[in-house]
Structure 1
Amino acid sequence: MNVIETKQLSKSYGSAQIIKAIDLSVKEGELFGFLGRNGAGKSTFINMLTGIIYPSSGTYSLLGVKGPNDQVKKRMGVMPDYSTLYSSLTAMEHLKFLSALSGNSASKVRCKEVLNLVGLQNHGGKKVGKFSFGMKKKLGIAQAIIHDPKIIFLDEPTSGLDPESAITIQKLIQNLQKNGKTIFMTSHNLHEVEKICTQIAIMKDGQIIKIGTMDELRAFYRSKITVKIKHSPIPKAEQLTLYEWLESAGSDLTKEVNSLTITVDDEKKIAEMIRAFNQCKVDIFRVEVEEPSLEDIFLDE
């Protein structure tokens, strides 16, 4: 089931078209990473899906219901990239107040349960104004899930956090997905998205230019597989033959003492290289393969 679906969804302000006829489907239970440089249109796109702004054209549906729809809004949670926290309230008061505003008033037991889920179980009576940045991020996620939504939108959930706090938030997000939630998140942390997201889309100038799993995205960039080989000394009589073959098989050949690095366009070339070394009576001690990272794919947009 597609819990998020857009058809030719567009948004313009005057003559400026910010979102350009996007068709997108997100399946139930996905942890969907939505990437793009600043100004690419990510926030505008999310704001349309969450009902903050209206599309100029096209349609979208959430949980099979055409949006915007007030009943569907009660089944989604949103953590925006700007603070909506009230410093004068305690964490417990904050959750009760915001859940009441949404029409899904949470009990004290539910508030405690959610605070425990995000790791704030010992801070329910503490005023939000005294929270650290990382604690506020956790509370932001708590307010997004207090009413047990089916879809959760997270805008930069780990931005500005130290590595330890970021890992804690990442594990929390993964646990939400494992518990059946569909999560749509933006992030500038490419390593984070590569590590935890099941599907990834990259937006540029209001359009989605790449989409798929990490393996699917890599498949488009396998022309840049870097192979590092550590080997025994190459007999002088075999050096010319072996090096000429390697140069014909790949590019950017770099030779060092008993090791070399080469870029190939097909992983089948790796097996061919190993056979060529064996034919030249050269032992291979280690083969390291560096496939394109999400950063490589993102920067190649």
Structure 2
Amino acid sequence: MECAITCSEVVKHFGRTEALKGVTLTVPKGSVFGFLGPNGAGKSTLLKIMVGLVRPNAGRVSVMGGKPGSPAVQAAVGYLAEQFRFPAWMTGDELLSFHLRLAGLRPSAAERSRLLRLVGLDGAGGRRIGGYSKGMQQRLGIAQSLVGRPRIVFLDEPTSALDPLGRLDVRDLLLQLRTQGVTVFLNSHLLTEVERVCDSAAVVNRGVVVAQGALETLLQRPSAQLRVGWLTEDRLAALLKRVEDIAGNAPTHADGLITVATSQPGQIPALVQVAVELGVPVYEAGPVRQTLEEAFVKLIRERSP
């Protein structure tokens, strides 16, 4: 796996407060990566280290193969901070022209229009930012982060001020960036949005990464479900007993759905076979997929330092 970001044992202190306590993680190149955690967990601190705004006290960080803050890395990075404020007297076009010049690029009308169109602000470039709604300013911030066609984009709570349609637009944009090979590092507390767009994620709490990996892996739960037909009480009792013998855990039954925590991978075929042997009609069988919110809460409660 080729990595866009690698962090090894990153530590950061602010006075006596230890914001990061040896963070280690990897972000696959070309992925949309979600960085999740409760408030005060250290998410924004690590993001600022990655973009070169804050220096760690210890550990190593590599972004696109280089040192954060170096000219080569800065040229490849786009960044939207969680809290930002643009000059109210500027127009959207003027702000993008300013950032294009900062990037050493010609502030052409075509490029400004392309950026505004990407974030759904077509026709708003001539208006002063002071007249923009909060959602429009958020969209403009995302457009600013895409100046120079960066190879990696860091977004800190990019949809916090957007309505549901705006969040859908941003989701589509992130998926579009992924198809272009752009790596997106997404810091967000909106777990449903992360679940819909991210390939992989890490969960941090109290300055420590408690879990990371492909999103599908994080959402897997060692449980199985069987949807069965109507059963007599005797046959249901026999099935539940056999299921418990195989899985090693007591199953539950409600509305024709049997759920059991499995103790080993690959137990679902054995559960189906038992049902068939007992003459039980099985309409559906498969692993249980939990939501990201359920997985997040479980990880924070069970693995927190």
Q: How does 1:1-301 map to 2 (within 5 A)?
A: 1-219=2-220, 221-222=221-222, 225-234=223-232, 238-250=235-247, 251=249, 253-256=251-254, 259-265=256-262, 266=264, 268-287=266-285, 289-301=287-299
Q: 1:217 Cα deviation (Å)?
A: 2.2
What amino acid is aligned across from residue 300 of structure 1 in structure 2?
K
Q: 1:240 to 1:210 in 2, by over 3 A?
A: closer
Q: 1:109 Cα deviation (Å)?
A: 1.8
On the 8 A contact 1:34/1:184 being kept in 2, the answer is: yes
Q: 1:74 to 1:49 in 2, by over 3 A?
A: same
What amino acid is aligned across from residue 76 of structure 1 in structure 2?
V
Q: 1:239 to 1:159 in 2, by over 3 A?
A: same
What's the TM-score, normalizing by structure 2?
0.87
On the 8 A contact 1:229/1:288 being kept in 2, the answer is: no
What number of residue pairs does the alignment pair up?
A: 296
What's the TM-score, normalizing by structure 1?
0.89
On the 8 A contact 1:231/1:286 being kept in 2, the answer is: no
Q: 1:293 Cα deviation (Å)?
A: 2.5
Q: 1:238 Cα deviation (Å)?
A: 3.3
Question: What is the percent sequence identity of the aligned residues?
Answer: 29
What amino acid is aligned across from residue 6 of structure 2 in structure 1?
E
Structure 1 unaligned regions, length at least 5? none
Matched residues in 2 for 1:267 and 1:161: separation? 41
Q: 1:101 to 1:27 in 2, by over 3 A?
A: same
SS, match of residue 96 in structure 1: helix
Q: 1:57 to 1:242 in 2, by over 3 A?
A: closer
On the 8 A contact 1:106/1:147 being kept in 2, the answer is: no
* Alpha-carbon RMSD: 2.3
Q: 1:5 to 1:275 in 2, by over 3 A?
A: closer
Matched residues in 1 for 2:159 and 2:23: separation? 26
SS, match of residue 208 in structure 1: strand
On the 8 A contact 2:91/2:129 being kept in 1, the answer is: yes
Pick which of 171-180 and 18-27 moved more.
18-27
What amino acid is aligned across from residue 261 of structure 1 in structure 2?
I
SS, match of residue 261 in structure 1: strand
Deviations 1:65-120 (A, max 9, x none): 22331342232111111123222222111111233345445322211111112221
Pick which of 169-178 and 80-89 moved more.
80-89
SS, match of residue 66 in structure 1: coil
